[in-house]
Structure 1
Amino acid sequence: METQSFTMNIDVQTYQNLKLLAGISALTESELAAEAVRIFIEDQSWQIEAIKQGIRQADEGKFASEQRIKDVFSKWGIDA
């Protein structure tokens, strides 16, 4: 599998826990971090399709009516 490097900042405690986990596993810190990112992206990927669907609907002119927006705002106690 082809890989791509990038840099990220994490808090010290998370980094220490990553080092500890790497020390007791057969994976490196980099491999553990890559796996965590992969799992997170896989778990959150539903958002990609939801956004694409929203764009398609907007392109088709399917928007919420003014009344619907007021009803939703009213539900949350916001005077629109």
Structure 2
Amino acid sequence: MGSFGLMHWLVFGVVAILLLGGGRFSNMMGDVAKGVKNFKKGMAEDDDAKPAPTQIEGKAAPAPTVETEAARTAEKQ
């Protein structure tokens, strides 16, 4: 008794269209569609704006120099 059925919603929709007029109703629905589109676009921009996760890099070994190569060669002999 307290719930709305399909017929109730159809009657409500017809009355709303008659009261508001077809053009006004379609303009409101167009505004709602634009709002949803802008919302989705904003959500997509937020995803793009997030920085990519960076990998944690360990301390890199220094590039070999002439002195370190000479010392390494001397240790091997």
- TM-score interval, normalised by the smaller of the two chains: 0.3 to 0.5
TM-score (norm 1): 0.36
Bigger Rg, which one: 2
TM-score (norm 2): 0.36
